[in-house]
Amino acid sequence: MSRTLGWLARHAGAETIAILAILSLALGSLTVGLQSILRGFDVWLVLTTALAGLMLGWVLAKSPLPGWLASVVGCIVGIEIILGRVGQLGGKLLAVGRAFEQLAWDIWNVTANVLQNVTANVPYSPNVPRVALPNTDRLLSALTAVWNDIATVLIRFSDWAQQILNGQPSFDPVANALVWSFLLWAIAIWTGWAARSRAQPFEALLPGTALLAAMLAYTRSSAAYLVPLFAATLVLMPLVVHRARESRWAREGIDVAEDIHMDVMFTAIPLSLALIVAAVFAPSISAQEIARWAQNMLEPRVGVASDLPDSLGLLIQPAPPSPFDPVLAPGLPREHLIGAGPELSKQVALLVRTNADGPSYWRASTYDRYNGRGWFTSATDTVNYRAGEIAVPHDGVGYCRVRQEIQFVGDGNGLLYATGVLITADHDFAVAWRSAEDAFGASIQATSYRAESLTPIATEAQLQQAGSHYPEWVTERYLFLPDDVPPRVLALARDLTASRRTPYDRARALETYLHAFAYTLDLPAPPSSRDVVDYFLFDLQKGYCDYFASAMVVLARAAGLPARLVVGYAPGRYEAENEGYVVTEADAHSWAEIYFPDYGWIEFEPTSSRAATTLPDDTSIFDQDPSKAKPTLSLSEELQASDNRRFLLLPAALALLVLAGFAWSVIDDWRLRVAAPNAAINSIYARLVRFAPRLGVAVAVADTPDEITARFATRLATIAKNRHALQSAESELRWLSAMYIRACYSPHALDVAEQAQAVKVWHTLHRRLWWAWMLLSLPFFPREVE
């Protein structure tokens, strides 16, 4: 192995081996990164194919073939290799080789026998056996077997592509391997060719880096696989550029130290790796963590002065507010309604449009804990969701899928309002969970959003038959009451439901009983020493929604019914002309929900100022109209489809832009070639003069072509330092200037060959000028006019 490496180092050069090794590592990182996000991705197949493409591109870079022909050769070789490997044609191709070898041997024997007979002057005789012709059946059979396998592979690929075009994509491992192998082959060919012929490692690795970055972004995967590609780019830039310099110095006969390339390697590689390490680890250094550490260090401790932060002039800021903070505070959720004036009913809070059949309650948060003074929630964990992401997986059976468009009038309070169980929204949102099945509430930063939710479909008869087999998480959390609930509250619940057989009938009995109480906002705050529900039921016997809802939930739990208090908005006022609801602050509301097995949480309206909730007599309407039960395309699917369309829009726009640029280049080249030679040169020179201001080159009417060329050359000299792409621009400028002078002042007109050469030189120079202009856009390049 060491002898082989020594031989390669002597013949190819240590620097060449280092460059190829780094490029190979970059392609390896690309394939491994794709393997992490692609199903059925054969990393060994693709990696070995890519490495073969890299070597072929490196060889083609120094071949006499023009670029387009080298591309054709690379494509043909790649197709052959990929079809052979994906189609597992190795054994059959070997059989073709052996059959061909046998046929060649047979042809040689026949030829030798014929020549021997001719040389010996053997006369023709019917008794002399004739020379048997070579048998081609073995070769034809082997070729047929190879062709059948290739046709099978191509048919599978064709079927896979046809399904995509028909809008019914499916996964086919063979087609998948063909696509990714050829894509990586093309990238590898370009990488090897560009790194050697153009001496531009950034351009060489750009397609692979862009592909991996796009795929990682689309699949929301870690960007760690991009680090080796960036590292390879940084390491290769000094190596390849120095290699190009050494080649130029050798051509110009400039003597340099023999070991200068080693100095470059030992300096550039560690520096590049240090930059990459710094870039990787710098984002993980959190300013918030540092601030938290400093704050902990400065907190008062035993033996430490408590006024140390003040002595340092530090103003400790409170934690950033959360949309859930106002509703997390214990108490009655709607205490702000007490003492509110008539202007409350006029202040619009929400504008809602929905496909729900009838008015709906707009839920914001739910409460599970009662302490005798009010309501609070158990501990919650907040989970962030992207737009369109499903928060509650559900098949929709037994539920009606409801969509609502909600717009806050004003800035909003950060809470997400929706009817029923929230599934998703069209903006990023967060859900505070008490457990995997139980949400406290949701928040959203948008002031206008679309949400999708589920509401249970059930008739009274179905709920009466629902039974009482509750899940464990329901019984543990939603039957709990504090020990100090007054006995008369428990007795009242028993009395009201004693003759009711089913849980549903008990819930209706409690709702009916509370509807006999008066509704008012004009009442004092409850005494701090009294249980709120007991005070409402036996002393006040009037109140607002918080009192009614709290009383029903406590009575329901006392009667053995899992219940919770819900806060949000009542339906509001329906406006037919706008096909939506206008919800005011006066519609801010609390209500009760009772849990029924197989149906979930069912709303009940105990507040006497509002009608009791009603249920459909028959759920067959949802069977007859599936759109009411489950739309054909959910909001999350619509958002995904929209994302897919947006994702495809950029490649399509780029493709159109590239196509338009290519078409313009072809048309412009054709116009210059069909024009008269002198006219073509005049047009080229006029374009050159028009480009001068972009580079900061001043051009006056009285300037001669030589003066303009000299200014261009001076300006490009300030840009072309250490930039191989601009070092030939001066000679091209002077040649075109000489052609222009000849076209204007010489009696001998230019011929067609000189015209073609001028067009070719102009296209090359034009690209260099645009490159110089882009460099000038950077802040560290001079912009003063020459």
For position 713, what pLDDT does the model report? 79
Cα gap 686→740, rounded to integer Å: 10
Q: Which residues of 11-49 are buried (b: 16+ CB within 10 A; e: fewer)?
A: eeeebbebbbebbbebbbbbbbbbbebbeebbeebbbeb
Rounded to 10°, the helix 635-674/752-776 angle is 140
CB 169 within 8 A of CB 179: no
What is the tens place of the pLDDT at every residue in 81-121? Answer: 888 877 777 777 788 788 888 878 878 877 777 677 667 66
Cα gap 340→338, rounded to integer Å: 6
CA-to-CA separations, 757 to 53, 147, 203, 661, 706, in angstroms, rounded: 33, 46, 27, 22, 20
CB 455 within 8 A of CB 356: yes
For position 683, what pLDDT does the model report? 84
Q: Which residues 6+ apart lie within 8 Å of 630 measured at CB?
A: 396, 401
Cα gap 421→453, rounded to integer Å: 5
Q: What is the largest CA-CA distance in the chain?
A: 139
Query: What count of Cα atoms within 13 Å lies in the side-chain half-sphere of residue 282?
Result: 6
Cα gap 524→95, rounded to integer Å: 99
For position 221, what pLDDT does the model report? 79
For the beta carbon of residue 218, count every other beta carbon within 10 angstroms.
Answer: 12
Cα gap 721→717, rounded to integer Å: 7
Q: What is the dihedral of CA 169, 173, 174, 180, to 10 degrees?
A: 80
Q: Which residues of 327-344 are buried (b: 16+ CB within 10 A; e: fewer)?
A: bbeeebbbeebeebeeee
Instruction: Tell me the sheet residues that pair with 583.
Output: 350
Strands 580-584 and 348-354: antiparallel
Nearest of 747, 770, 761, 784 to residue 685 by alpha carbon: 761
Phi and psi torsions of 434, nearest 5°: -80, -35
In 675-726, alpha helices (H): 677-691, 705-719
Phi and psi torsions of 354, nearest 5°: -150, 160
Q: Is 531 helix (H, G, I), strand (E, B) or coil?
A: coil
Q: Which residues 6+ apart lie within 8 Å of 433 measured at CB?
A: 380, 381, 382, 383, 439, 440
For the beta carbon of residue 550, count every other beta carbon within 10 angstroms.
Answer: 25
CA-to-CA separations, 786 to 316, 323, 781, in angstroms, rounded: 56, 60, 13
Q: Is 171 helix (H, G, I), strand (E, B) or coil?
A: coil
CB 49 within 8 A of CB 70: no
CA-to-CA separations, 139 to 87, 136, 150, 539, 642, in angstroms, rounded: 19, 5, 17, 105, 54
SS3 content of the chain, % helix, strand, coil (to 5): 55, 10, 30
Phi and psi torsions of 519, nearest 5°: -105, 130
Strand order in the sheet with 429-435: 381-385, 429-435, 438-444, 362-367, 563-569, 588-596, 600-604
CB 365 within 8 A of CB 577: no
Count of residues for the chain? 786
Nearest of 94, 89, 78, 76 to residue 148 by alpha carbon: 89
Token pair 């009383």: residue: 551
CA 56 to chain centroid, in Å, comes to 33
Q: What is the DSSP letter of 468?
A: S
**First and final C-alpha spacing in the chain:** 58
Q: Tally helices (H) and strands (E) across the chain.
A: 26, 17
Q: Kindly calculate the radius of gyration of the chain based on its CA atoms and give it in whole angstroms.
A: 40
Angle at 564 between CA 560 and CA 568, to 5 degrees: 155
Q: Walk along the chain (786 residues) in steps of 10 and give the mean pLDDT of each run.
A: 51 71 85 77 80 86 81 85 78 80 80 70 56 72 82 76 71 71 87 81 84 82 79 75 68 62 63 67 53 54 44 45 60 50 66 85 92 89 91 74 88 86 91 91 91 90 88 90 89 83 90 94 84 93 93 92 93 87 90 93 94 78 45 50 55 70 76 82 83 80 81 76 63 83 81 84 81 70 47
Cα gap 116→122, rounded to integer Å: 9
Q: Which residues of 450-483 are buried (b: 16+ CB within 10 A; e: fewer)?
A: bbbbbbbbbeeebbbebeeebeeebeebbbebee
Nearest of 60, 52, 72 to residue 194 by alpha carbon: 60
For the beta carbon of residue 549, count every other beta carbon within 10 angstroms.
Answer: 30
Token pair 């061909």: residue: 100
Nearest of 28, 148, 51 to residue 96 by alpha carbon: 148
Helix (H) or strand (E) holding 557: helix 545-558
Q: Which amino acid is at 503?
A: P
Cα gap 582→348, rounded to integer Å: 7
CB 40 within 8 A of CB 171: yes
Query: What count of Cα atoms within 13 Å lies in the side-chain half-sphere of residue 659?
Result: 6
